[in-house]
Structure 1
Amino acid sequence: MTMTSILQYLNSVDQSVFLFFNGFHNSFFDTLMWQVSNRWVWVPMYIAIVVANVLHFRSDWRKLIGVISVFLIAFALSDYLCVQLIRPWIARPRPAQDDSVIWQLVHIVNDYRGGHYGTPSSHATNTYMLAMLTMLFFRRRKLTLFTFVWATLQSYSRIYLGVHYPGDILLGGVLGISVALVCYGIYRWMMREDGCKCCPYLQLVEYTGLLILLALVVSAFVTPYLDCLLAVL
Structure 2
Amino acid sequence: MDLDALQELDKTVLLAFNGSGNLFMDYFVLTLTSAYTWIAFYVSLLYLVVKNNENWLKIVLVIGAVALGLMIVDGANLAFVKPFVARLRPLEAPGLQGLVVPAEHYRAEGYSFFSSHAANAFVVAVFFALLVRDRFFTAILVAWSTVVSLTRLYLGVHYPSDVLTGMLSGSAVAVFVYGLYRRLYIRCSDKLHYISTKYTRTGYSFADVDAVLCILLLTFIYAAFRAVLSI
Report the TM-score when normalising by structure 1.
0.87
8 Å CA contact 2:101–2:156 kept in 1: the answer is yes
Counterparts of residues 16-31 of structure 1 (less than 5 Å): 16-31=12-27
Match of 1:231 in 2: none
Counterparts in 2 of 1:183-194, with a 5 A limit? 183-192=177-186
Determine the structure 1 residue equivalent to 2:124: 130
Take 2:57 and 2:225, find their aligned partners in 1: how far apart are those partners?
41
Q: Whole-Å Cα distance in 2 between the matches of residues 160 and 42 of structure 1?
A: 19
1:32-59 CA distance string (max 9 Å, x none): 00100011110111111111211111x3
Aligned to 2:78: 83
Which of 162, 173, 181 aligns to 1:179? It is 173
1:62 correspondence with 2:57: yes
Structure 2 distance, partners of 1:100, 1:45, is 38
Structure 2: tracts of 5 or more residues without a match: 194-200
Distance 2:117 2:21 in 1: 20
User: After alignment, is 193-202 or 33-42 more displaced?
Assistant: 193-202
After TM superposition, the structure 1 = structure 2 runs for residues 1-233 of structure 1, keeping only pairs within 5 Å, are 6-57=2-53, 59-97=54-92, 99-192=93-186, 197-200=202-205, 201-224=208-231
> 1:145/1:126 Cα in 2 relative to 1: closer, same or farther (>3 Å)?
same
Q: How well do the aligned residues superpose, as a CA RMSD in angstroms?
A: 1.8
Distance 1:128 1:100 in 2: 31
Unaligned runs of at least 5 residues, structure 1 = 225-233
Could you list the per-position Cα deviations for residues 205-225 of structure 1 after superposition, in whole angstroms to 9, with x for gaps in the alignment?
A: 11111101111112212332x
* Counterpart code for 2:115: S
Taking structure 2 as the reference length, the TM-score comes to: 0.88
* 1:150 shift after superposition: 0.9
